[in-house]
Amino acid sequence: MDSALILQARNLTKRYGANIIFQDISLDVQKGETIVIIGPSGTGKSTLLRCLNLLTHVDSGQIFLEGEEITAPGINEDRVRQQIGMVFQNFLLFNHLTALDNVMLGLTKVRKLPKPQAHEKAMHELARVGLADRAGHYPGQLSGGQQQRVAIARALAMDPKVMLFDEPTSALDPELIGEVLGVMAQLARENMTMLVVTHEMGFAREVADRIVFMEKGHIVEQGAPDDLFERPQHARTREFLWKITELYGKKEKK
């Protein structure tokens, strides 16, 4: 079991001034696992993802990627970020580049692949998210769902060991959510290691190996989807699940 441990967070704490974003968070991620983090807005889920990717720095605690401490001083953060892919709520595609060039940029500038290889790899990743035919389009010419799929392809192109998804569908119109979740479910089936922050409970139940419920900067409880949804241990979890099913329809209520 230990050999399959890919990402390990130990007692992470993050504050902004006197404001504690999260405190003493520990989390083990196994290779190939899909973890969905749920919880009310403003409970530090997104910040946690950003800290795992070193886009923001924790105030205390340690993060290990395949046993190497990436929070150690002097670590090459750019190299770490290549290995941890991230998908953002608002896509953050490079607006001046076509879909293809968005995916190719990291390959040519970070991984220094020659153009033909980068092109081939980028086309492969675009095909993976079903957008090979949109390669020449600029972000402004794509729908939100398509933009997000390009963003996923851009992250995948770096062959990351872990993919982080920060509310990847919350900026999308309802009819476009499905195509993005479809791509993510496909990735999970291909055994990509994924950490997903989302409010899509249907996706969480069907795709996740483990659900983590976070509130007010703490992990309240975690477990297999069926356990957590059917037999939540904490009153706060029950309350949250009840509220969110009210909000997102009755589908999950049994």
Contact footprint for another protein (CB under 8 A):
53, 55, 78-79, 81-82, 85-86, 88, 90, 92-97, 105-106, 109-110, 137-142, 151, 154-155, 158
Distance from C-alpha of 80 to C-alpha of 87, rounded to nearest angstrom: 16
Contact of 40 with 237, CB cutoff 8 Å: no
Contact of 150 with 157, CB cutoff 8 Å: no
Chain centroid offset of residue 160 CA:
12
Question: CB 89 → another protein: shortest distance, Å?
Answer: 10
Beta bridge partners of 15: 20
Distance from C-alpha of 204 to C-alpha of 200, rounded to nearest angstrom: 6
> Which spans in 84-114 are helix H?
99-105
Cβ closer to another protein: 90 or 186?
A: 90
Distance from C-alpha of 228 to C-alpha of 241, rounded to nearest angstrom: 9
Contact of 107 with 121, CB cutoff 8 Å: yes
Question: CB 81 → another protein: shortest distance, Å?
Answer: 4
Chain centroid offset of residue 77 CA:
18
Question: CB 157 → another protein: shortest distance, Å?
Answer: 8
Residue 234 CB coordination number (10 Å): 13
Question: CB 73 → another protein: shortest distance, Å?
Answer: 18
Cβ closer to another protein: 87 or 241?
A: 87
Question: CB 116 → another protein: shortest distance, Å?
Answer: 20
Cβ closer to another protein: 156 or 177?
A: 156
Cβ closer to another protein: 13 or 82?
A: 82
Question: CB 127 → another protein: shortest distance, Å?
Answer: 19
Cβ closer to another protein: 95 or 233?
A: 95
Quote the tokens at residue 120. Answer: 């081939």
Cβ closer to another protein: 44 or 106?
A: 106
